[in-house]
A and B are shown apart, each in its own frame.
Chain A
Amino acid sequence: MNPFKQHTGIAVPLDRVNVDTDSIIPKQFLRKIDRAGFGKHLFHEWRYLDYEGTKENQKFVLNQERFRKATVLLARDNFGCGSSREHAPWAIADYGFKVIIAPSFADIFYNNCFKNEILPVVLTSKEVDELFNEVLAKSGAQISADLEGQKVKGPTGKEYSFKIDDFGKECLLKGLDTIGWTEQFLNKIKSYEETDKTRRPWLYSVK
């Protein structure tokens, strides 16, 4: 994974609450065995007028010319709820988004972001409202996110601090191989299993 330190880019406001991972990447695109190429199906039902995805829905915000190059996604409450499919962050990252800002995220999706070089930023509803207004007010409006300093800068230059879990921050900053991180505790895992065998022997007699 590549490290994530900071990012500045055009922001697109997605004015919907409870955006579920079915909407982020519909089921017909999950029948793949690799991680690549999900971006073109991102928000498929909203982005396209036809099932095949050949006719763009011009009303959908991502298709509006001023937001086409957006790399920061402004979202509403409970973003990423529902299915645990990691195809959702794969699609978001593959489309080109680096940062998602919302008042709240669903738990599994939030965790999945850290594994996919996406920075999920939680701000208050009021702050997100402000950013929505600022982004809508001026074409090409950009938002900056600085992970190290845990700050977001809006189009008018106003700064917002955000909290982030230390471990997740470290993972993004270093582009950490999380499996490699856990492997340093292999001896602890082995000794756990040895102790557990005497405590719950029935779990270890499975063929």
Chain B
Amino acid sequence: MSKTMYEKIWDQHGIHEDKSGMSVIYVDRHLIHEVTSPQAFEGLRVTKRGVRRAQNTFATMDHNVSTRSKDIEKTELTSRIQMDTLSKNAKEFGITLYDFKDPNQGIVHVIGPELGITQPGMVIVCGDSHTSTHGAFGALAFGIGTSEVEHVLATQTLQQKKARTMLINVEGKLGFGVTAKDIILYIIGKIGTAGGTGYVLEYAGSAIRDLSMEGRMTICNMSIEAGARAGLIAPDEKTFAYIKGRPYSPKGADWDKAVQYWKTLPTDVGAKFDKIIEIKAEDIDPQVTWGTSPGQVTGIDGKVPDPEHFSDSVERLGARNALQYMDLKPGTPMNEIKVDKVFIGSCTNGRIEDLRVAADIVKGKKVTKTVVAIVVPGSAHVREQAETEGLHKIFIEAGFEWRFAGCSMCLGMNDDQLSKGERCASTSNRNFEGRQGPGGRTHLMSPQMAAAAAIAGQIVDVRKILK
């Protein structure tokens, strides 16, 4: 029988299914960080349980690390306690840890692929909703709560019900200046922030196949913003080329066996999805959010909508709240909105390719004087690579701050935050109220668009700059 990629991975990981449909599935790789793991380890201690397969779990520090300094003394006390706790837990339970000073440190969803921990056909979980990122490799990857982190540590499995499947087919060629970020924001705008609830999304079509692995990660990363736990993209030669030679990728005869296996994963011809969405790549303009939910998005040529024009009461209520919080008036052209800060980074857009395209935009130009702009590489390796290529010089000369790796202003758990009322052009994934700092206002966009906004001091159509 023809199967989707999700069904193949699901079936291969099933251990038990009870009559209600609740399954126990095997977890191949478990990633942990300092914020959502301490209570899980404490739970293990209280119940006198151990970690079943410590070698399947990898830890790093990303959420609240300082991006200004590697001196832990400069980190705020409660953050330091969380980081110390992770160090102690990793040591006690024998888990590999890339701490804040390690050359492999970085945002958990950047280092997983970078180190070859992430591979096709795996089930990967992490106490972080953006675990969906790893789906770019054809791995079933999703975020879990801390109780589930404890469950995985104790049993190397997870209780889970089978999801429905949705195929999102993006066919055609992307327009000039349009990126993976614009594709996913456009999709979320189409299907809504709850459109994917209960589904695993599979992204397919020529526009997806044409993307680099970095671009595919950006797409899968934001699956959760459409309500879906996971997003998948079929592994292909690009995927294999990316994985080859990384520290944890298969070597020698294992490599050949692995590739052979990975090639069996893509969805079979004729496999049935519960829902299919068709999107034309040509219809997508550079996207910018205007509201406080990632689905509140429009093309750069668009305007802030009038909430009263939404026929759906849920959308209307959401838009009313959003405009009040964002201090925006209906009818304001998106490309006239001024910004105070620019953030380039995060697990969505903090990879080397993102920094390259942003550097291309700012090269030889200056950040507007009133704007504070920061570049936060997604990992220590991304930072190192960017420095090898001289990208840091381009950013610094343009007036950007060049930081150490971490989650940083995507969620502002460290001191990288928006102040009340500040408006930010951000390459991150969530424009929720207060997400980047209490009272801060976020406009999500691609790295190119954010870089252009830093130069212009306002949201601007990057295509006019690229010309």
Q: Is the CB of B314 within 8 A of A17?
A: yes
A107 to B160, CA, bound (A): 11
Is A138 positioned at the interface, with any CB of B under 8 Å from its CB? no
Q: Count of B residues near A, CB < 8 Å?
A: 78
Comparing A57-65, A142-150, A154-162, A197-205, the segment that makes contact with chain B is A197-205
Kindly list chain A residues whose C-beta atoms are within 8 Å of the C-beta of B250: 202, 205
Comparing A4-12, A30-38, A67-75, A91-99, the segment that makes contact with chain B is A30-38
B47-63 vs A, Cβ < 8 Å mask (1 yes, 0 no): 10100000110000001
B29-51 vs A, Cβ < 8 Å mask (1 yes, 0 no): 00000011011001000010100
B429-441 vs A, Cβ < 8 Å mask (1 yes, 0 no): 0101111001100
Given contacts A45-B433, A82-B129, A106-B194, contact A16 B15 (CB under 8 A): no
Kindly list chain B residues whose C-beta atoms are within 8 Å of the C-beta of A34: 38-39, 42
Write the nearest CB–CB distance from B264 to chain A, whole angstroms. 11
A186 to B185, CA, bound (A): 42
Interface residues of B in 141-162 (CB under 8 A from A): 143-148, 150-151, 154-157, 159, 161
Residue of A nearest to B258 (CB): A202
Write the nearest CB–CB distance from A4 to chain B, whole angstroms. 15
- A77, A108, A166: the one contacting B144 at CB < 8 Å is A108
Q: Is the CB of B194 within 8 A of A78?
A: yes
Residue of A nearest to B198 (CB): A107
Q: Is the CB of A30 within 8 A of B413?
A: yes
Residue of A nearest to B85 (CB): A33
Kindly list chain A residues whose C-beta atoms are within 8 Å of the C-beta of B119: 203
A111 to B258, CA, bound (A): 33
Comparing B20-28, B207-215, B329-337, the segment that makes contact with chain A is B20-28
Comparing B74-82, B298-306, B388-396, the segment that makes contact with chain A is B74-82
Q: Is the CB of B16 within 8 A of A188?
A: yes
Interface residues of B in 271-322 (CB under 8 A from A): 293, 314, 317-318, 321
A30 to B155, CA, bound (A): 26
Kindly list chain A residues whose C-beta atoms are within 8 Å of the C-beta of B254: 201-202, 205
A82 to B130, CA, bound (A): 9
A199 to B121, CA, bound (A): 12
Q: Is the CB of A189 within 8 A of B157?
A: yes
Is A196 positioned at the interface, with any CB of B under 8 Å from its CB? yes
Write the nearest CB–CB distance from A47 to chain B, whole angstroms. 12
Residue of A nearest to B83 (CB): A31
Given contacts A78-B193, A179-B155, contact A108 B229 (CB under 8 A): yes
Q: Is the CB of B16 within 8 A of A22?
A: no
Is B93 positioned at the interface, with any CB of A under 8 Å from its CB? no
Kindly list chain B residues whose C-beta atoms are within 8 Å of the C-beta of A81: 193-194, 227, 293
Q: Is the CB of B194 within 8 A of A27?
A: no
Given contacts A23-B432, A31-B81, A182-B151, contact A167 B197 (CB under 8 A): no
Q: Is the CB of B321 within 8 A of A16?
A: yes
Is B446 positioned at the interface, with any CB of A under 8 Å from its CB? no
B406-444 vs A, Cβ < 8 Å mask (1 yes, 0 no): 000001110000000000000000101111001100000
A193 to B52, CA, bound (A): 12
A84 to B145, CA, bound (A): 6
Is B73 positioned at the interface, with any CB of A under 8 Å from its CB? no
Given contacts A31-B413, A32-B78, A86-B145, contact A22 B432 (CB under 8 A): yes
Write the nearest CB–CB distance from A14 to chain B, whole angstroms. 12
Q: Count of A residues near B, CB < 8 Å?
A: 62
Kindly list chain A residues whose C-beta atoms are within 8 Å of the C-beta of B235: none
Is B363 positioned at the interface, with any CB of A under 8 Å from its CB? no
Residue of A nearest to B230 (CB): A107
Kindly list chain A residues whose C-beta atoms are within 8 Å of the C-beta of B127: 84, 86
Write the nearest CB–CB distance from B413 to chain A, whole angstroms. 5
Q: Is the CB of B39 within 8 A of A179?
A: no
Q: Is the CB of B432 within 8 A of A167?
A: no
Q: Is the CB of B197 within 8 A of A106?
A: yes
- B82, B144, B225, B317: the one contacting A33 at CB < 8 Å is B82
Residue of A nearest to B58 (CB): A206
Is A207 positioned at the interface, with any CB of B under 8 Å from its CB? yes
Write the nearest CB–CB distance from A175 to chain B, whole angstroms. 13
- A22, A30, A84, A186: the one contacting B434 at CB < 8 Å is A22
A82 to B133, CA, bound (A): 14
Kindly list chain A residues whose C-beta atoms are within 8 Å of the C-beta of B128: 83-84
Q: Is the CB of A107 within 8 A of B197?
A: yes
A190 to B298, CA, bound (A): 50
Q: Is the CB of A45 within 8 A of B317?
A: no
- A16, A181, A189: the one contacting B156 at CB < 8 Å is A189
Q: Is the CB of B438 within 8 A of A33?
A: no
A205 to B232, CA, bound (A): 26
A17 to B258, CA, bound (A): 45
A29 to B438, CA, bound (A): 12
Kindly list chain A residues whose C-beta atoms are within 8 Å of the C-beta of B39: 33-35, 86
Is B18 positioned at the interface, with any CB of A under 8 Å from its CB? yes
Residue of B nearest to A29 (CB): B78
A192 to B79, CA, bound (A): 39
- B38, B154, B438: the one contacting A26 at CB < 8 Å is B438
Is B242 positioned at the interface, with any CB of A under 8 Å from its CB? no
Kindly list chain B residues whose C-beta atoms are within 8 Å of the C-beta of A203: 28, 119, 122
Is B402 positioned at the interface, with any CB of A under 8 Å from its CB? no
A207 to B116, CA, bound (A): 13
Residue of B nearest to A110 (CB): B197
Is A41 positioned at the interface, with any CB of B under 8 Å from its CB? no
| Inter-chain pairs besides A35-B39, A82-B430, A183-B154, 10 sampled, C-beta below 8 Å | A31-B413, A33-B38, A33-B39, A106-B227, A107-B198, A165-B22, A178-B151, A183-B155, A189-B156, A207-B55
Q: 6 A-B pairs, CB-CB below 8 angstroms?
A: A45-B433, A77-B194, A81-B227, A179-B49, A182-B159, A188-B24
